[in-house]
Amino acid sequence: MSYVAVRIAVHDPATAAERRQNAAHGASRGSVPGTMQAPKGRKQTPHLQILAGPCAARMLATCLVLSFALIACARQKSPDTPQTVSSTLLPATMNSDDPAPKPSINSSRAMQYVRDVVAFGPRPIGSPNHKKLETYITSHLKGVPVEDDAFIAETPEGKFPVRNIIAKFPGTRDGIIVIAGHYDTNYPLRNTGYVGANDGGSSTAILLELANQLRGKKRDGYSVWLLWTDGEEAVKQWSATDSLYGTRHLAEKWQKDGTLKKIKAFLLTDMIGDADLNIEQDMNSTPWLENVVLQAATRLGYQSHFFGRSIPVEDDHLPFVHMGVPSADLIDLDYGYNNVFHHTPQDTLDKLSPQSLEIVGSVLMETVRLLDKM
Ligand SMILES: [Zn+2]
């Protein structure tokens, strides 16, 4: 995925995580703007920050920043009234007396899936390890209807086989909730020992664990489709045409065959295993669906891990967003101080925590439950 980081002025200048990080590193995030390095194979504009102050003060920023600053202003009630992004999203009418049991997942099993996946080594598209992982995923879906969306992608490095894997859990209600995450790892880093424990590994694993939670249970709600996306990563340099190979293909296919209009929500997970979990409020996602996610997180007591920072993220949800499907990307792009582990060989198991998988897995299940009732 790719993003431009913009701090919205309406909330506390430092998230809880940043305060923890700052304490650990003795540095102020706000004092080092423009220092983010674009990882190889991923387009990233410099890390931009707009700290407190009225809109007029932001006019000094670049045109690029300005467009996002205007969005920030639109969300701001009053420059003098500090307000968290979370509180602007949270509906005032949330029912805290809901007696439904709170969902949870088997996070140690989910963590074991990450270990298994990482043990294959680098898993870029077209590689033997990628093929092994495909078999690993489908071998964990026995007894579940599985559909493949396999095709050959044209990339700047030639033709590659790409395979989206879809596991279907039918419900009683007309409509589909898709929960997705990519399983390929970064292609340009394929010879560096890069294993993508968080970026590729965590999303693969959480979907495998959700399959365990859904398997064999009657769904009194929408159908849930788990989607392991492929070819999310750029092959050479992140761009509209060199990225998101799998989801661009699938969104088009589902538009043609009529599936797309049945999708009530597209929930994406990416990089959700970081032990210091801070899910972004993605400005490219659908606000009402992010509201539901935040309701779910709040009911489970996990809201402090959600939406402390607002940034626009380019990820596998975009092809669906562009086709009008309500979508929410659950991603933590603050992976290590200043995102230093992202797309580096430092993306390893020791940075991850089962608790983070538990948080995201249970929030996803609670989100589905809330959507079923809507
Ligand atoms: Zn990546």
Give the count of beta carbons closer than 10 Å to the beta carbon of residue 44. Answer: 20
**pLDDT tens digit string along 287-345?**
999 999 999 999 999 999 999 999 999 999 999 999 999 999 999 999 999 999 999 99
Element (H, E) at 220: strand 219-229
Distance from Cα 193 to the centre of ligand 1, integer Å: 15
CA of 276 to the centre of ligand 1 (A): 18
Residue whose structure tokens are 């809901």: 98
Q: Where are the alpha helices (DSSP H) in the chain?
A: 16-25, 55-58, 63-75, 85-89, 107-119, 128-139, 203-214, 245-256, 287-299, 318-322, 354-373
Say what the pLDDT of residue 97 is. 74
Cα 267 to chain centroid, rounded: 8
* Rounded distance from Cα 219 to ligand 1 centre (Å): 33
pLDDT at 60 over 60: no
Give the mean model confidence (pLDDT) for residues 217-242: 96
Buried residues in 208-241 as b, exposed as e (16+ CB within 10 A): bbbbebbeeeebebbbbbbbbbbbbbbbeebeee
Q: Residue 266 and residue 212: Cα distance in Å, rounded?
A: 20
186 Cα: distance to centroid of ligand 1 (angstroms)? 6
Residue 5 has pLDDT above 80, yes or no: no
Tell me, in angstroms, the distance from the centre of ligand 1 to residue 96's CA. 37
Mean pLDDT rounded to a whole number for the chain? 81
Q: How far is the CA of 201 from the centre of ligand 1 (A)?
A: 10
Rounded to the nearest angstrom, the distance between the alpha carbon of 273 and the centre of ligand 1 is 13
Q: Which residues face 352 on adjacent strands?
A: 274
Measured in Å, residue 294 CA sits from the centre of ligand 1 at: 24
Pair 309, 30: CB distance under 8 Å = no
Query: Using 50, 70 and 90 to split pLDDT, how confident is the model at 98?
Result: confident
Strands 171-182 and 219-229: parallel
d(CA 126, CA 170): 32
- Measured in Å, residue 232 CA sits from the centre of ligand 1 at 8
The alpha carbon of 248 and the centre of ligand 1 are apart by a number of angstroms equal to 16
Q: Specify the range with the lowest mean pLDDT, choosing from 31-40, 120-129, 135-144, 329-338.
A: 31-40
Work out the angle at residue 327's Cα, subtended by the Cα atoms of residues 325 and 331, and round it to the nearest 5 degrees: 155
79: CB partners within 8 A, 6+ apart = 9, 52, 53, 54, 55
User: What pLDDT does residue 47 have?
Assistant: 33
Ligand 1 centroid vs 155 CA: distance in angstroms? Answer: 17
- 314: three-class secondary structure by DSSP: strand
Mean pLDDT of 57-83: 32
pLDDT for 340 equals: 95
Q: What is the pLDDT of residue 1?
A: 65
In this prediction, residue 234 carries a pLDDT of: 97
Report how far ligand 1's centroid is from the alpha carbon of 79 (Å): 35
* pLDDT at site 11: 34
Query: How many angstroms does the Cα of residue 126 sit away from the middle of ligand 1?
Result: 16
Per-residue pLDDT, averaged over 3-29, amounts to 36
More confident residue, 88 or 142: 142
With bands split at pLDDT 50, 70 and 90, how would you rate the model's confidence at 279? very high
Q: How far is the CA of 141 from the centre of ligand 1 (A)?
A: 25
Ligand 1 centroid to Cα of residue 134, in Å, is 18
Q: What is the mean pLDDT of residues 180-195?
A: 97
pTM of the model: 0.79
How many angstroms separate the alpha carbon of residue 112 from the centre of ligand 1? 21
Quick one: average pLDDT of 167-180?
97
- Distance from residue 198's CA to the centre of ligand 1 (Å): 9
CA angle (342, 278, 166) in 5-degree steps: 70
Distance from the alpha carbon of residue 362 to the mean position of ligand 1, in angstroms: 23
- Residue 269: its pLDDT value, please? 98
Residue 95 pLDDT class (50, 70, 90 cuts): low
- What pLDDT shows up at residue 366? 97
- Report angle CA 141, 147, 148 to the nearest 5 degrees: 105
Distance CA 201, CA 140 (A): 15
Q: What percentage of the chain exceeds 70 in pLDDT?
A: 74
Ligand 1 centroid to Cα of residue 171, in Å, is 32
pLDDT in tens, 132-149: 999 999 999 999 999 999
* Contact by Cβ (8 Å): 65, 33: no
Least confident of 31-40, 100-109, 147-156, 268-277: 31-40
Q: Give the distance (Å) from ligand 1 centre to CA of residue 313.
A: 12
Q: How far is the CA of 222 from the centre of ligand 1 (A)?
A: 30
- Whole-number Å distance, alpha carbon 187 to ligand 1 midpoint, is 9
Q: How confident is the model at residue 29 (pLDDT cuts 50, 70, 90)?
A: very low
- Ligand 1 centre to CA of 95 (Å) is 37
The DSSP annotation for 128-161 comes to HHHHHHHHHHHHTTTTS-EEEEEEEEEETTEEEE
355 contacts 362 by C-beta, under 8 angstroms: no
| Torsion angle of the four alpha carbons 272, 278, 283, 289, in this order, in degrees rounded to the nearest 10 | 70
Average pLDDT of the segment spanning 48-65: 31
Of the candidates 354, 367, 213, 210, which has an alpha carbon nearest to the alpha carbon of residue 277?
354
